[in-house]
Amino acid sequence: ELRMQESRNANLALGFTEELYAQAISWEGRAQKDLVAVDLNTGEKRTVATALRCSPHLSPGARYIAWWSDVDTAWYTWNARTAVTVRLTDNRTVNFFDDERDVPDLPGAYGTAGWLDDDAAILLYDRYDIWKFDPDGKKKPERMTSGRAGETVYRYLKLDPEQQSIHSEEEMLLHRFDRQTKSEGYAWLSPHSGTLRPWLGGDYAYTKSPKKARNANRLLFTREHYNTFPDLMLAGMPGGQPRQISDANPQQAEYRWGSIEPVQWTSLTGEKISGLLVKPDDFDPAKQYPMIVNFYEKVSDGLHRHRSPGFHRSQINWTVYASRGYLIFAPDIHYKTGYPGESAYDAIVSGVATMIDRGFVDASRIGLQGHSWGGYQAAYLITRTNLFACAETGAPVSNMTSAYGGIRWGSGMSRQFQYERTQSRIGGSLWEYPMRYLENSPLFSLDKVQTPVLILHNDEDGAVPWYQGIEMFTGLRRLGKPAWLLNYNGEPHWPVKLQNRIDFQTRLQQFLDHYLLDAPMPRWMDRGVPPIEKGILQGLEPVDAGHD
């Protein structure tokens, strides 16, 4: 592979070869590569680095090559004139690797904001701040922002898509995120003077892709809150007050939207956990409400995000269910390598217990809903506890031993890397940790399930082989457990066609309402939908509606 600068007259290109490392992609998830610098005038090739797991890039002026080494957890540069490699970061003062990434793999970098003009400096991120580094390593690094003390994250927003480097004499627009309050905003940073000026803020989430007018100093952006639709805003730069210029969702005022708040608790292992709680309008803490637990990994940073009603492909819509009198609890999950199922149990069960202790949750009417990785965790949870009155699990991995050797049909990749290195977090192969694969597989504990469960798994799923859903369903059926399987023929990891999304959300709501609101059982839950009736007789009417 040869990679050249676009729209610039650089005489240097990056060359990559993965040949020596191709087979390991199956269990590492990405190919290592050897990096060479290619002189486009002479054809000369010079080896720069070997066995890299990252994507090196060429500086705008083609004077340097920069890359992240996850083995060393360090940023490096290579000088094209001197052929000298310099390690820029040492992680002594702050970490430039993602120290919160809880997967069993080498950590990645927080990233780079770009280069100053003439390749004078490269701007690197730590967890919170932007740092200026001399690419030759001769000058002391400079921290350009001051986010760490207040736990505020600053990230550069590129306003000109054609701009190749950052102009030292022009202010940089930054996005800022307060990790405590989850509030967002914008700020201005001068690379030359180091001056940092907050601009817009408040209890909102701001878009990270604002648009600058081509011939005027005006910025078009959106800001939103749980109760505030992301209408278009216009403001003069660099310090103008924003003005709303659209009103795309006036009908929202006619609906019971509910409210959202952050919640905290201590997990079963003593760890501080955060999450979100959505409450219906006219919430009364003296009353008890049904609650749906909806989760994936970590969601609390999205406190101020707006969620419009709609027929989602895989998740419940928070505003819809809040308008119908439900609480929605969305916990963050912190993972321990080798024990993904137990990690979910520790975080979710402790969080639910905390909500029950507050007195406004009906402990007999708590549902569970998750899809994909969330679907796996939901499947695991119902083998460990009878806390939930019902559960919906979408595209779940039920048997990690068979899933480990499977294929991601969408990409053709072996699934081994997911368990050894990434989301499934087992931390090694099936032969290194056989008990971890067995203990984390819901299939082998289905005899303990007492919770009615609705399974969604489609036969063209390219991410999770749909036989995983089949294994779970047939196992539960053999054991005499209440279980239903939805399959939308020809659909992938989730329903894509609108009619199928509507159908899925309708059945999901009927299922949850039956167990959590005492709604009548629909006919499809009583007798299923025979193949010859599929798409003709839906079975959505109540059982007592008088139809055969």
Write the CATH number for 284.
Answer: 3.40.50.1820
Which tokens sit at 40? 């486009």
Residues in the chain: 548
Band (pLDDT 50/70/90 cuts) for residue 412 is confident
Q: Output the CA–CA distances (angstroms, integers) from residue 212 to 197, 231, 234, 236, 373, in the order listed.
A: 19, 16, 10, 10, 38
CATH code, domain with 210: 2.140.10.30
Peptide bond into 107 cis (omega under 30): no
210 domain-assigned: yes
**Of 290-304, 402-416, 482-496, 518-532, which gets the smallest average pLDDT?**
402-416
3-state secondary structure 276-287: EEEECCCCCCCC
The domain boundary residue, chosen from 244, 273, 302 = 244
Q: Is 382 helix (H, G, I), strand (E, B) or coil?
A: helix
* 273, pLDDT greater than 60: yes
Query: What's CA 70's distance to the chain center, in Å?
Result: 21
* 548, pLDDT greater than 60: no
Listed in sequence order, the residues at least 6 apart from 357 whose beta carbon sits closer than 8 Å to its beta carbon are none
Q: Decide: 27 and 420 in contact? Cβ < 8 Å.
A: yes
Do 87 and 219 lie in a common domain? yes
* 441, pLDDT greater than 80: yes
Listed in sequence order, the residues at least 6 apart from 251 whose beta carbon sits closer than 8 Å to its beta carbon are none
Listed in sequence order, the residues at least 6 apart from 230 whose beta carbon sits closer than 8 Å to its beta carbon are 207, 222, 223, 224, 306
Do 301 and 347 lie in a common domain? yes
Band (pLDDT 50/70/90 cuts) for residue 407 is confident
Do 232 and 328 lie in a common domain? no
* 28, pLDDT greater than 90: no
How far apart are alpha carbons 353 and 293 in whole angstroms?
Answer: 12
* Whether the model pTM is above 0.75: yes
- H or E stretch at 482: none
Q: Give the DSSP per-residue string, 181-197.
A: T--EEEEEE-TTT--EE
* 247, pLDDT greater than 60: yes
Instruction: Please report, to the nearest 10 degrees, the dihedral formed by the alpha carbons of residues 465, 467, 471, 474 taken in order.
Output: 140
Do 161 and 264 lie in a common domain? no
The per-residue pLDDT for range 52-89, each reduced to its tens digit, is 998 899 999 999 999 999 999 999 999 999 999 999 99
Mean pLDDT along residues 210-237:
97
The domain boundary residue, chosen from 188, 210, 244 = 244
**Of 220-229, 318-327, 341-350, 403-412, which gets the smallest average pLDDT?**
403-412
How far apart are alpha carbons 209 and 206 in whole angstroms?
Answer: 9
11 domain-assigned: no
Listed in sequence order, the residues at least 6 apart from 136 whose beta carbon sits closer than 8 Å to its beta carbon are 77, 79, 84, 86
Q: Is 13 helix (H, G, I), strand (E, B) or coil?
A: strand
Do 349 and 479 lie in a common domain? yes
103 domain-assigned: yes
Do 94 and 215 lie in a common domain? yes
31 domain-assigned: no
Do 232 and 263 lie in a common domain? no
Instruction: Please report, to the nearest 10 degrees, the dihedral formed by the alpha carbons of residues 102, 107, 111, 115 taken in order.
Output: 170
* 547, pLDDT greater than 80: no
pLDDT of residue 534: 86
pLDDT of residue 410: 82
The per-residue pLDDT for range 124-174, each reduced to its tens digit, is 999 999 999 999 999 999 999 999 999 999 999 999 998 999 999 999 999
The per-residue pLDDT for range 162-213, each reduced to its tens digit, is 899 999 999 999 999 999 999 999 999 999 888 999 999 999 999 999 999 9
Residue 489 CB coordination number (10 Å): 11
Q: Decide: 175 and 70 in contact? Cβ < 8 Å.
A: no
Handedness of CA 459, 463, 467, 472 (dihedral sign): negative
How far apart are alpha carbons 185 and 203 in whole angstroms?
Answer: 9
The domain boundary residue, chosen from 224, 244, 264 = 244
Which one-letter amino acid corresponds to residue 1?
A: E
How far apart are alpha carbons 347 and 268 in whole angstroms?
Answer: 7
Q: What is the mean pLDDT of the chain?
A: 95
Q: Give the DSSP per-residue string, 383-445.
A: HH----SEEEEES----HHHHHT-EETTTTEESHHHHHTSTT---S-TTT-HHHHHHT-GGGG
Band (pLDDT 50/70/90 cuts) for residue 8 is low
Domain count for the chain: 2
How far apart are alpha carbons 207 and 228 in whole angstroms?
Answer: 14
Do 213 and 259 lie in a common domain? no
230 domain-assigned: yes
Give the full edge-to-edge strand order of the sheet including 196-198. Answer: 152-156, 172-178, 184-189, 196-198
pLDDT of residue 145: 97
Q: Decide: 24 and 77 in contact? Cβ < 8 Å.
A: no
pLDDT of residue 18: 86
5 domain-assigned: no
Do 82 and 180 lie in a common domain? yes
Q: Output the CA–CA distances (angstroms, integers) from residue 216 to 73, 172, 213, 238, in the order listed.
A: 42, 16, 5, 11
Q: Give the DSSP per-residue string, 305-353.
A: --------SSS--HHHHHHTT-EEEEE-----TT-HHHHHHHHHHHHHH
How far apart are alpha carbons 484 and 383 in whole angstroms?
Answer: 16
Give the largest Cα separation in the chain, rounded.
85
Do 194 and 329 lie in a common domain? no
Q: Which domain holds residue 86?
A: 58-244
How far apart are alpha carbons 15 and 95 in whole angstroms?
Answer: 29
Do 273 and 201 lie in a common domain? no
Which tokens sit at 209? 């892709």
- H or E stretch at 508: helix 498-516
Band (pLDDT 50/70/90 cuts) for residue 546 is low
Do 225 and 280 lie in a common domain? no
109 domain-assigned: yes
239 domain-assigned: yes
Residue for token pair 């053999």? 478
